[in-house]
């Protein structure tokens, strides 16, 4: 049995896990597994890292489960199963969103933007933002912000974080606090363009008015910055399927909302939308289509649960 104390023992200050010779075997195993890519069979951890609430699922752990990660617990998998009964394309939704996140981050880096704020960055998977943008600009700076304790605990296991990458605890609903965070301000130069990534986050962090929240963030960004945003939609979706999401995200987590295409378009007010793929006119599109070589092929059932767009701040 691995306990919370074991998990704590496996953590060290900063990033990564300590692997010591005199560790109890179970702690050694845990530290080894986690340091090898962060996860291992989290089902074997009968207690979560400190601060992680197992009385209900969390958006970060649910999303991790959809993407095939191991940083989730039975409560998350049970909740996911409830949705999957009526939304069999659930994993496809997550991958469509993740693909948009990666392609848009890369595209923004290709425009020469050297610093990124990834709001609601989530639990790390393969192809994290810093890995994607560092392929284009190896010295790009990336700040991941999230308010889920599991994300923050897991971040300590990441061995590939560089000096230019930070994982910062922050609640996106409070932009004034976020924008003054000393760690964020130490990494990001707000007088220079920023790639501002807000993918599948506003759903949880609106506080009821996503436009006002976004406007506050965008006002802090320099001209030439880019917003990449995706948002769940109930447009053209069966009511039963929408209900399944709301039952899990709305009641259990007490958050979560869907936006229509028009409502997501309003998030880009005052910005210059870019064309989502070659041959398209500047507009929103479904998540899978953005940046796709063959948008028709990428237009899957899952993709159609998310409107997305990328826009430049003039």
Ligand X SMILES: C[S@@+](CC[C@H](N)C(=O)[O-])C[C@H]1O[C@@H](n2cnc3c(N)ncnc32)[C@H](O)[C@@H]1O
122 is a site residue for ligand X (CB under 6 A): yes
User: Cα dist. 291→104, 125, 180, 224, 311 in Å?
Assistant: 7, 20, 33, 20, 13
In the complex with ligand X, the residue whose CB is nearer, 30 or 200, is 200
Cβ atoms of 234 and 156 within 8 Å: the answer is no
Q: Indicate whether 120 belongs to the interface with ligand X (CB under 6 A).
A: yes
Residue of 115, 147, 225, 303 interacting with ligand X (CB under 6 A): 147
CB 202 to ligand X: min, Å: 9
For the segment 172-231, give every residue that binds ligand X (CB under 6 A): 172-173, 199-201, 204-205
**Minimum Å distance from CB 171 to ligand X?**
5
Stretch of residues binding ligand X (CB under 6 A), selected from 41-49, 136-144, 171-179, 211-219:
171-179
98 lies in the binding site for ligand X (CB under 6 A): yes
Least distance (Å) between residue 203 CB and ligand X? 7
Exactly one of 60, 93, 142, 310 binds ligand X (CB under 6 A); which one? 60
* 65 touching ligand X, by CB under 6 A: no
Choosing from 101, 103, 231, 304, the residue that interacts with ligand X (CB under 6 A) is 101
- Residues 260 and 120: their CA atoms lie apart, in Å, by 21
Q: Which is nearer to ligand X, 35 or 129 (CB)?
A: 129
DSSP codes, the chain: -B-HHHHHHHB-SSSSB---TTS-HHHHHHHHHHHTTS-S-GGGBSSPSTT---SS--HHHHHHHHTT-S---HHHHHHHHHHHHH-TTHHHHHHHHHHHHHHHHHHHHHTT--EEEEET--S--SS-HHHHHHHH-TT-EEEEEE--HHHHHHHTT-S---TTEEEEE--TT-HHHHHT-HHHHHH--TTS--EEEEES-HHHH-TT-HHHHHHHHHHTSPTT-EEEEEEE--TT--HHHHHHHIIIIIIISS------HHHHHHTTTTSEEPPSSTTPPS--EEGGGTT-SSHHHH--TTGGGEEEEEEE--
Q: Is 146 in the site for ligand X (CB under 6 A)?
A: yes
Supply the minimum distance, in Å, between the C-beta of residue 207 and ligand X: 8
Residue with smaller CB distance to ligand X, 157 or 199: 199
Q: How far is the CB of 97 from ligand X (least distance, A)?
A: 5
In the complex, minimum distance from the CB of residue 102 to ligand X, in angstroms, rounded to a whole number: 8
Find the shortest distance in angstroms from Cβ 288 to ligand X.
13
Nearer to ligand X, 13 or 176 (CB): 176
User: Residues in contact with ligand X, total (CB under 6 A)?
Assistant: 22
Q: By beta-carbon distance, which residue lies closest to ligand X?
A: 120
Residues that bind ligand X (CB under 6 A): 59-60, 63, 97-98, 101, 120-122, 145-148, 151, 171-173, 199-201, 204-205
């Amino acid at each position: 049995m691995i306990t919370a104390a074991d998990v704590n023992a496996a953590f060290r200050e900063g990033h990564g896990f300590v692997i010591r010779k005199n560790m109890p075997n179970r702690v050694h195993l845990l530290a080894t597994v986690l340091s090898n890519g962060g996860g291992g069979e989290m089902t074997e951890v009968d207690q979560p890292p400190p601060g992680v609430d197992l009385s209900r699922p969390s958006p970060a752990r649910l999303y991790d489960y959809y993407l095939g990660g191991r940083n989730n617990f039975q409560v998350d998998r049970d909740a996911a199963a409830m949705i999957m009964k009526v939304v069999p394309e659930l994993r496809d939704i997550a991958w469509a969103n993740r693909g948009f996140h990666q392609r848009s981050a890369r595209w923004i880096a290709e425009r020469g933007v050297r610093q990124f704020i990834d709001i609601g960055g989530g639990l790390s998977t393969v192809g994290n933002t810093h890995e994607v943008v560092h392929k284009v600009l190896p010295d790009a700076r990336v700040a991941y912000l999230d308010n889920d304790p599991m994300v923050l605990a897991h971040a300590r296991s990441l061995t590939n974080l560089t000096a230019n990458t930070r994982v910062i605890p922050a609640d996106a609903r409070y932009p004034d606090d976020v924008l003054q965070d000393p760690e964020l301000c130490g990494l990001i130069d707000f007088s220079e363009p920023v790639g501002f990534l807000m993918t599948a986050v506003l759903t949880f962090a609106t506080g009821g008015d996503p436009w006002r929240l976004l406007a506050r963030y965008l006002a802090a960004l320099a001209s030439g910055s880019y917003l990449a945003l995706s948002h769940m939609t109930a447009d053209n979706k069966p009511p039963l399927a929408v209900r399944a999401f709301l039952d899990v995200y709305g009641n259990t987590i007490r958050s979560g909302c869907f936006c229509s295409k028009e409502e997501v378009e309003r998030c880009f007010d005052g910005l210059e939308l870019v064309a989502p793929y070659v041959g398209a006119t500047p507009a929103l599109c479904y998540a899978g289509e953005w940046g796709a070589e063959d948008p028709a092929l990428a237009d899957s059932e899952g993709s159609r649960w998310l409107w997305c767009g990328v826009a430049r701040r003039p």
